[in-house]
Amino acid sequence: MKLKNILSGVACTLVLSSCNWDYHEYSNYGKDYVQETYDNVIGMVTNIYAMLDYDFGQTYSGGMLASACDEAEYAYPSNDICDFTNGSWSPSNPMSSIWTSSYKGIQACNQYLAEFQGLTFDELKLNDDYRAQMFRYHNSFKEARFLRAYFYFNLARAYGDVPYFTEMVSTDQVNSLTRTPVQEVFDAIIEECDQLYEELPADYTQLGLDGISPAESGRVTRYAALALKARAALYAASPLFNTDNNQELWKRAAEANKAVIDTCTKYGFKLGKYTELWGADNWTNKEMIFVRRYFVNGGDNVLEGYNFPMGVPGGKSGNCPTQNLVDAYEMKATGKLWNEEGSGYDPANPYEGRDPRFAMTIVKNGDTKWPSKNSDPIETFYGGLNAEPLSGATPTGYYLKKYLDSAIDLSANSTTKKARHSWITYRLGEFYLNYAEAVFKYTGSADNPSEFNMTAREAVNVVRDRADVKMPLLAAGLTPDAFWAKYQNERMVELAFEGHRFYDLRRWKDGDKLKSITEMKLTKNADGTITYERNVVNRTWNEKMYLFPIPQSERLKNPNLDQNAGW
């Protein structure tokens, strides 16, 4: 895991401003320099925060994980993300920096916990905010423990069994480690989160300390610890990792996710409007438990540049929603899918009357003011302004809207070219769905709460009853198969493009759904009507792809790292 590089990079820190959560790099110095000042020490933890993952296309040259599953198709088949779907990934092309980046973060946490405790910063004692500064310092070690657990979750989710250690290790030691069983890794994460829930603050602004500002919202809280525990418990119970369907793991997952719901709602978290989940200020949303504050020089336009429609100034297309995702949006009046009897679907007007989250997430033919400065309606029919045969135009008939800032104008003379984006790491809506899944799998019913005071169906209905969604509530009496289909569909819709679907299909062992996607090809007729034709595109999938391959470069250094099956 390239330990020498990890150790040398740990001291390259980022300083946290007391008034915001922007990141500022400074030079690479060693341990002695870091210990010289308070800012240098705290900067190490800020640097580790900067290692948190987000899926705005930064890893795969614009590609999001949505384009590696059935949510989207990348407009350019030569893009890196397409190696997930064309069979080109392998141990020598492992398609991820998760292994290296996670262990870099873990080793940084281990070093910080081992080498930087016990400092007093005497030069600050006469400062008015000394108590606040020392609180930040002491709290930073709890934050480091959370971040370490977070990185381990990412590793376990992707690779299954992984080497687990909580002390600094030498190059020789790291190159002799063996893989720890994944359930033990999940157990360790859950145990750490239980402790951190008791130790981390709930609200940094309510500590009575001068100098603690709202910017501290960028730091992890006890609620984030609950959330990490709950997600880890859900994955531990899922078929990919819970191979003998141990029902106690489902019970633990139900309890953990219910704890997130109960605790967060008690202290003011709530579901609001779906459209307010993104935007420059989404980190202030009452639903957010923890977000990855992605601020670079006041903002950027990378996400928009990659995903604004081809044919719009500065737009390069990119992650184009599939017809599979469009089909998941039910009819608002009936709560039925387009192909269910009595749904009210009109094939001549296929987008009318759909779940409101469709229009909030996806750009379709005929949409206006997307982005805001675009005076022309979007045309995705063949030969249209934003359509094939233009190179890079959407192959699916749709463009992405969710997470993008419509106000950004990428034309040459524009002055509104930047926006701030924050990646949703944990939000309350996820945990209603997580709980619904876990309690359903534990009880075998959508309506039987067993020892719980909320049924699986009721939990899903909380999500469907959002202020700007208001979909028909799921009725009582659904069969287990019918509820499970409704649940999976609801999760695909609610969490679209938030990085869940890629892993959900794997932990459920539903890989067959990754064997193909469906595009919608539009043709404009002479009378102005549109003809819609479905086009199925095959993709490469086999069982080994449930887990990532361990990079061959790591196995060459450490022969104790057995490769995942099939790779």
pLDDT (tens place) for every residue of the chain, 567 residues total: 443 333 333 333 333 322 233 333 333 445 665 567 898 999 999 999 999 999 999 889 999 999 999 999 999 999 999 999 999 999 999 988 899 999 999 999 999 999 999 999 998 999 888 998 999 999 999 999 999 999 999 999 999 999 999 999 888 888 999 999 999 999 999 999 999 999 999 988 777 776 666 656 689 999 999 999 999 999 999 999 999 999 999 999 999 999 999 999 999 999 999 999 998 889 889 999 999 876 556 678 889 999 999 999 999 999 999 999 999 999 999 999 999 999 999 999 999 999 999 999 999 999 999 999 999 999 999 999 999 999 999 999 999 999 999 999 999 888 788 888 899 999 999 999 999 999 999 999 999 887 899 999 999 999 999 999 999 999 999 999 999 999 999 999 999 999 999 999 999 999 999 999 999 999 999 999 999 999 999 999 999 999 999 999 999 999 999 999 999
What is d(CA 48, CA 143) in angstroms, rounded to the nearest whole number?
10
> Is 317 within the bounds of a domain?
no
What is d(CA 554, CA 508) in angstroms, rounded to the nearest whole number?
28
> Is 441 within the bounds of a domain?
no
Report strand pairing: 12-16 vs 72-74: unpaired
> Is 353 within the bounds of a domain?
no
> Is 271 within the bounds of a domain?
no
Q: Are 63 and 535 in contact (CB under 8 A)?
A: no
- Domain count across the chain: 1
Range of the domain at 183: 3-50+97-220
> Is 470 within the bounds of a domain?
no
Residues 6+ apart with CB under 8 A from 355: 329, 330, 331, 332, 469, 471, 493
CATH of the domain at 192: 1.25.40
What is d(CA 143, CA 46) in angstroms, rounded to the nearest whole number?
10
What is d(CA 466, CA 470) in angstroms, rounded to the nearest whole number?
6
> Is 412 within the bounds of a domain?
no
State pTM to two decimals.
0.93
> Is 186 within the bounds of a domain?
yes
What is d(CA 516, CA 521) in angstroms, rounded to the nearest whole number?
16
> Is 198 within the bounds of a domain?
yes
